[in-house]
Structures are given as structure tokens and as C-alpha cells.
Amino acid sequence: MNVCKTCDSAGVPGTGPLPWEIDATTEALIDRVAAGRMLELRGDVPLEDMIPLLESELKYTIVSFVDCLDCERVLFWGLCVRGNPILRHADRSEIEHWRWSTVPPRRRWARK
Ligand SMILES: [Zn+2]
């Protein structure tokens, strides 16, 4: 398969111990959604809220499934407290089979 300029370029490789830069990669996804190149399918919280929730350490894993409107594949972006972030393509059926768990009330972790 050809490299997709939308989703295959979304991940920003880590310059430290992590495989991906959490802030830059999340920002890249947000930018692509804003540009109409990707679509948020389902996540624990909106992309913009993933990092504040992660930093609160109130939820251990925070994931988001994002549709690439360019190549029609689904991208999985998963953050984990004190763990490695995961960025990979996912099967669309994973979304319904994912073990979604409760998100703590927003007022406990949101920045504003
Ligand atoms: Zn793509």
C-alpha cells in the first residue's frame, strides 16, 4: 500500500524514550481533523482533552479512533499513564469491541 500523506505522516517520532511525541502527535491529529482530512470516530474523550486527562492520571489508558478520509483506514491513538503511547492502524470493528471504560467527571481533570 502506498504511504498516505494524511495518516502515515500524523505520528511525530519521539526524540526521547517514548516512541511518539505525545503533544505533537495529538496536535497533528487535531490539525487533520480541523482540516477535514480526518474524522474523530470514537474516543474516551475528544482529542483536545486526551492530554489533560492523561496528566491527571485519573484514567490509566485514553484512546481515540480516527478515520482517515484520504485512504479510509482507521488510526488508533492510545495514551497510557507512565507508558508508551501507541499509534497504529486499526480494523474498523475494533471500535465496537474495545473495552470502553468510564471517564472520570470532566471537572476533575479539564484545564478549563
Ligand atoms: Zn490515510
State yes or no: pLDDT of 1 exceeds 70.
Answer: no
pTM for this entry: 0.95
State yes or no: pLDDT of 44 exceeds 90.
Answer: yes
What pLDDT score does 8 carry?
Answer: 97
What pLDDT score does 2 carry?
Answer: 80
Can you list the alpha helix ranges (DSSP code H) found in the chain?
A: 22-34, 47-56, 94-97
Ligand 1 centroid – CA 73 distance (Å) = 6
What pLDDT score does 111 carry?
Answer: 83
Summarised one tens digit per residue, pLDDT across range 74-104 is: 999 999 999 999 999 999 999 999 999 999 9
Would you say 82 and 96 are in contact if contact means Cβ atoms under 8 Å apart? no
Q: What is the mean pLDDT of the chain?
A: 96
Summarised one tens digit per residue, pLDDT across range 61-80 is: 999 999 999 999 999 999 99
Q: Can you tell me the distance from the alpha carbon of 54 to that of 49, in angstroms, rounded to the nearest whole number?
A: 9
Would you say 27 and 109 are in contact if contact means Cβ atoms under 8 Å apart? no
Ligand 1 centroid – CA 48 distance (Å) = 20
Kindly give the interhelix angle for 22-34 and 47-56, rounded to the nearest 10 degrees.
160
Q: How far apart are the first and last CA of the chain?
A: 42
Contacts of 61 (CB under 8 A, 6+ apart): 44, 78, 79, 80, 81
Ligand 1 centroid – CA 103 distance (Å) = 28
